[in-house]
Chain A
Amino acid sequence: MKRLSAWAVLALFALFSIYPMLYVLSVALRGDNAFQSQSLEIITATSTLKNFVVLFTETDFLLWMRNSLLIATVTAGLGVALAATSAYALSRYQFKGRQAMLFSLLVSQMFPATMLILPFYIILSNLGLVDSFWGLFLIYSSTALPFCIWQMKAYYDTIPKELEEAALLDGCTPWKSFYKIILPVSSPALVITALFSFMTSWSEYVIAAVVLQNPELYTLPMGLRSFQASLATQWGLYAAGALIVSFPVLILFISISRYLVSGLTMGSVKG
C-alpha cells in the first residue's frame, strides 16, 4: 500500500517533470508552424521529421553546435582548473582574508547579472575581445566560478587532511600532493563543477548576443533565437532546435548522474 502510493506520487511528478519536453517534441514533429493544435497527443498522424531535416540541411545548425561545444568545453576546462585550485587553497590553508574571500564569492551572486552586461561589453571592447570566443571564455568561466569554488571547497572539506599529510611524508610537494592525490579523489566534484560551467555557457544567450557579432561565431542559443523573429517565429524549427540543444546536456547529466549525488556537497552531514 505504502509502496503503491509512493509509486503513484513519483509517477505523477515524473509526468510533471518530463511533459514539457514531450510538448516541445510534439511541436517539433508538427508540420509548418503548427504551433497551434488542440490535441494532447504527442505523435499524431501528421507528425513529420521535416523540421529536423530543415534544421540540419538549411540552417547553420551544425556550425552553431560546433561553436557552442567549443565554447562550453573550453569554459568548463578553464572553470574547473581555476575552481579546483583556488577552492583547494580556501579549504586547506588559513591565511589573511580567507573568510572575506569566501563571503565575497557568495556576495558576487547577489548583484543582478543583467546590469553587468554593459560593463562587460566595455571591458571586452577595451581588451579587443569583442566578437571573439576569448571574451566569452573569460566571462563565462569567471561568472560560473563563485558557485564552482564553493562547491569544490565543500567537497575538499570532506576529504581528511591526513591524505595530503601522508602524501607530503611520502615525498610530495604541496602541489604534487594536490594533483596526484586530492584531484583524483575529488573526481566526482570535478565532474559536477565541469558540468556546471558547461551548462552556464551552453545555454547562455544574453552575453553571447552582445559579444558575438559575426554569424560564423554564433552559438546555439543565438541561432535558436534567430528562428524567433518578433512577428514571425518559426516554432517548428525552434522546437526541433530546442530539443537538440537540450539533448547533449541531458546525456551529460544522465551519464554522470551517479556523481551528481556524491559530488554535489553543499555542507556536511553530522551523524
Chain B
Amino acid sequence: MSLRSLGAFVLLSMMICLRVQAAEPVRIQLWHQMIYGHRQILSEALRDFEKENPNIIIRETYRETEELRSSYQAAAMGGSGPELVFGPSDQIGPFATMGIIQPLEKIVGEDYLKQYNSLAVPLFENKHYMIGGSVGNHLMLLYNKKFITKPPTTTDELIEIAKKNTQDLDGDGKTDRFGLVFNYTEPFFFAPFIPAFGQSFMTADLKPQLNQIGLRKTFEFILDLRDKYKVIPKECDYETANALFKQDKAAMLINGDWSWGDYQNAGVDFGIARIPQVSETQKWPSPLVGTVGYSLNTHFTSPEHEAAAIAVLKYLTSEKVQRLFTEKVGVMPSLLSLQTPAAIAAYPLLKESAHIMEVGTPMPVIPEVRGVWDSLRIQYQKVLASSLTPAQGAELAQAMAETQIQNMNEVVPPDFGAVIIKLFTGLGIIALLVATRKWWWAFFKGFQSSQRFVYFMMLPAFIGIFAVIAYPFFYNVAISFSNFGLKTFQDWSIIGFQNYWTALTDPKLYSLLVKTVIWTGVNVFFHVTIGVFLAVIIHQLMPAKGLWRTLFIIPWAVPQYITALTWRGMFNQEYGPINLFLQKFLHMDPVQWLSQPFTAFTACIITNVWLGFPFMMIVALGGLQSIPDSLYEAAYLDKANAWQRFRHITLPLLAPVMVPAAILSCIWTFNNLNVVWLVSNAGEPGDQTHILVSYVYKAAFNLYRYGYAAAVSVLIFFILVIWSLGSLIAQYRKEKRA
C-alpha cells in the first residue's frame, strides 16, 4: 500500500468517525390540516420543543383536509411519508385499514391512553390509532348578542326568533339580515337533527340507517326553513354563512367550536347554545363529537426517527401544549385532568361547550362512513334542488350508501380472467418482441449509421416521455385488472376483468359518457366559433390588433385553478357579480347557479369556454395571416359578400389549421378535471355535474376504488384513441381529395 493511498484511507476513516460523532439531528415531519390561527400556535409549540431537544428538528406541513388524506396515502404507498399525521378522527378508519398508521397501545401503553377523554382516543377495531389534541369539533348554535339575548331552546322558538330577525332593512325587497344561516348543503351540518327527529343514522353495529323518519323529517325541516319560513338564504355554503354572521347579517349560525376564534377576532359579540330541541319529539339534536389528533406512520427510516416521533407525539398531546391551545384558541382539551369543571371554569365558552357535548354522539371513524356521507350529500342536494321528495331522498340515500360501502369493502378474488391476463401479458410481450424484432434490429443498427444524429436528437425527449407517461400508463393498466382498493392497499393482486365488467354494465357510465361528449362538444364548439369570430374581426376590421390580442389573451394566462375558483365565486347566488348584474341591469331574479344540476353544469361550461377561446383565437389569427389578400380581392371582384367570402375563402383555408387544434382541444376538454371539479365543488349538486374524469377522480381518491377507477381511465383512453384516430383519418382523406 503506497503512502498516498494510506493517507487517503486515514482521511476517509476520520471523516466517517466525525460524521458519527457529530450526530445529525433527527428530522421529523408532521402533516396537519390546522386552520390558520391554530397553525401559529402549533409552530410556537414545536419551536419550544426543538429548543429543549436540539437533536430533533420538526418540519410541519399544512395540507387541506382532503388533500392531506390523498397525499398521505400516496406517500405511504411509496413507503415514505411523514412520521406524524394530524387530522380529524374520521381518517383513522381508512388509514388503519390501509395499514399506514399504527396502533398506539404497545407504543405508549394502555395507561397512557387512559389519561384522555375516550372521545379523544377513538377505537377502531378495538385499537387506538390516534391521540386527540382536543375534543369537540362539534356543532352548536351561535347567536349574535346584538340581536338575540336568550337563545331558542326548541325548534318552534328557533323558527319564531329567526323569523323576527329575518329583515329587509332598506326595503329593496331583498333580505339584508337572516334569522339563521349555516352550511346546510353539507350533511355534517344537518346530521345532528336526524336522531332528534328519529333514530341515529348509523346503527349500533355501524350500518347505515338512512331510510327512516328521522332523515325524512330533517329534510322536510330544512326545506321548510328555506321555503316556508324563509329564514335561511336560498344558497348558503360555509363561506357565505361565515361571512354573513361576521358582518352582522345573520342573527344565528350553526357552526363548530373551531370557528370561535375567527368571530372573536372579527369582534362579534356572540353566545353559544345547544342546537334547539326538536319541539315535535322533545329530543335534542345530537352533534357529532370527535377529535382532531395525531397518528403515527407505520414506516420509519430508523429507530431514532421512531423514538423522536413518539416523543413529539407525547409532547403535542401533553398538558403544556393543550393548555396553550385552550388559552389561545379556546379548544376543549382532551386530557381528563384539564377537563374538570375547575380547570375550564375560566373559559365560559368551554363550559357551555361541555354542556353541549353532553347531547353529542361520538364521530364514527370506520371508513364506511365516507360512503354514508357521500350518498347522503348526493341525495340531499337533489332534495334541495327539488328533484326528489324527502322520502325518495331518504330511500335512495340508504340504497346508495349500501352499494358504496359494498364497493368499498369488496375484495374481489382473482378468477379465471386473471390467469388469462397473466398468460397473455407474458406471451403478448414475447410475441410483440418477436414480431417487431426486425424493427428493433433496424433501430439498434441505426446507432451506427448516419441515423445516429437523429437518435441523439430524439431519444432524450422520448426517454423522458416514456418514464413519466408510458410507465405510469402501464402501471394503471395493471391496476385496472386488479382489486386495488381500500382493503388491499398494500397487497393488491390481478383479479381479471371484473372492473371492466362492473364499469361496462353500469348504465351510469354511459350517461356520463354522453354528458362528457356534450361537455366536450359544446366547449370546443364555442372555443372554435368565438376564437375564429374574434380573430376574423380583429384581423380584418380593427386597428391596434396587438392591444385587442392582449386583452383576449388574459383568460389563457391565468392559472386554471384560480380561474375556476374565481368563477365559482362569481356564480354565487347571493353575492356573485353575475347574479348582481342580472338583477341590477336585466331585472332578473337571481339564478341559483350552483345548486341546480343544469345551471351548475352550465356554469362549468361557461368557465371552460372562457378559459379556452383565446388559444383558438391565436391559432386562427396565425392561420388568417397566411391567407393571401389576393384571394379576398379576387372574391370581391366576383361580387362575393362578406359572408360568402368568409364561407368560401376564410373557412376552407382556415380548416387545416383549426382542425388539429380542435382535435387537441377535444382531448384536453374531455379530460379536463380542474374546471368541473373546482367550479362544481366536486360534482355538486348531488354528483350531477360529473364528467368521466371527475367521476374517475372521485372513485379513486374519495371512494378508494382504485382498480375500478383505473379501468374506467383505460376505457376513456380507448374512447379517445379511437375517436381521434377516426377524425385524423377522416381529415387526412379530405385533404387528400382536395
The reply, when asked whether chain A contacts chain B directly with Cβ atoms under 8 A, is yes
B421 within 8 A of A: no
Enumerate chain B residues within 8 angstroms of A109, measured Cβ to Cβ.
664, 667-668, 671
**Would you call B713 and A111 a contact (CB within 8 A)?**
yes
Is the interface on chain B under 10, 10 to 19, 20 to 34, or 35 or more residues?
35 or more
- A-B contacts, 20 listed (Cβ < 8 Å): A14-B548, A14-B552, A17-B555, A24-B566, A34-B247, A38-B575, A97-B439, A106-B724, A111-B476, A112-B696, A143-B468, A175-B453, A221-B561, A226-B64, A242-B559, A246-B557, A249-B557, A257-B553, A265-B657, A269-B627
Q: Nearest residue in A to B466 (C-beta to C-beta)? A: A142
Determine if B465 and A119 form an interchain contact, defined as CB atoms under 8 angstroms apart: no
| A249 CA to B722 CA, complexed, in Å | 35
Q: How far is the CA of A111 from the CA of B710 in the complex (A)?
A: 10
**Of residues 680 to 719 in B, which have CB atoms within 8 Å of A's CB atoms?**
692-693, 696-697, 700-701, 706, 709-710, 713, 716-717
CA distance A66 to B252 in the complex (A): 44
Which interface residue of A6, A17, A35, A242 has the most chain B CB atoms within 10 A?
A17
- Residue B507 at the chain A interface, CB threshold 8 Å: no
If the complex has contacts A114-B696, A138-B467, are A89 and B458 also in contact, measured as CB distance less than 8 A?
A: yes
| Beta-carbon contact of B553 and A108 below 8 Å | no
Contacts A110-B721, A121-B78, A210-B75 given; indicate if A268 touches B656 (C-beta within 8 A): yes
Inter-chain contacts of B643 with A (CB < 8 A): none
Are B559 and A114 in contact (CB-based, < 8 A)? no
Q: How far is the CB of A27 from chain B (nearest CB, A)?
A: 7
Please report whether the interface of chain A is mostly helix, strand, loop or mixed according to DSSP: helix
Give the shortest distance, in Å, between A158 (CB) and chain B (any CB): 9
6 closest Cβ pairs, A-B complex = A203-B559, A119-B472, A125-B78, A142-B468, A86-B461, A110-B720
A268 CA to B716 CA, complexed, in Å: 30
Question: B614 — which chain A residues lie within 8 A by C-beta?
Answer: 17
Residue numbers of A with Cβ under 8 A of B are 2-3, 6, 9-10, 13-14, 16-21, 23-24, 27, 32-40, 82-83, 85-86, 88-90, 93, 95-97, 101, 104-126, 130, 138-139, 141-143, 145-147, 149-150, 154, 174-175, 178, 199, 202-203, 205, 209-210, 213-215, 221, 224-235, 238, 242, 245-246, 249-250, 252-254, 257-258, 260-262, 264-271
Closest A residue by C-beta to B677: A114
- Interface: B173 (CB within 8 A): no
Identify which of B61, B65, B700 contacts A230 (C-beta below 8 A). B65
Contact present for B473 and A261 (CB under 8 Å): no
A246, B562: Cβ atoms under 8 Å? yes
Instruction: Name A122's closest neighbour in chain B (CB-CB).
Output: B78
Alpha-carbon gap, A95 to B453, bound state (A): 12
Verify B461–A231 contact, CB threshold 8 A.
no
Question: A39 vs B468: C-alpha distance in the bound complex, in angstroms?
Answer: 47
- Set of chain B residues within 8 Å of A90, measured between Cβ atoms: 458
Whole-angstrom distance between the alpha carbons of A267 and B659 in the complex? 8
A117 contacts B446, CB within 8 Å?
no
- Bound CA–CA A142/B472 (angstroms): 13
Q: Assess A116 versus B542: contact at CB under 8 Å? Given A27-B569, A221-B559, A271-B626.
A: no
Q: Digitize B81-124: 1 where CB-to-A-CB distance is under 8 Å, 0 elsewhere.
A: 01000000000000000000000000000000000000000000
Check if B575 sits within 8 Å of A95, measured CB to CB. no
Known: A85-B461, A141-B464. A10 touches B542 (CB 8 A): yes
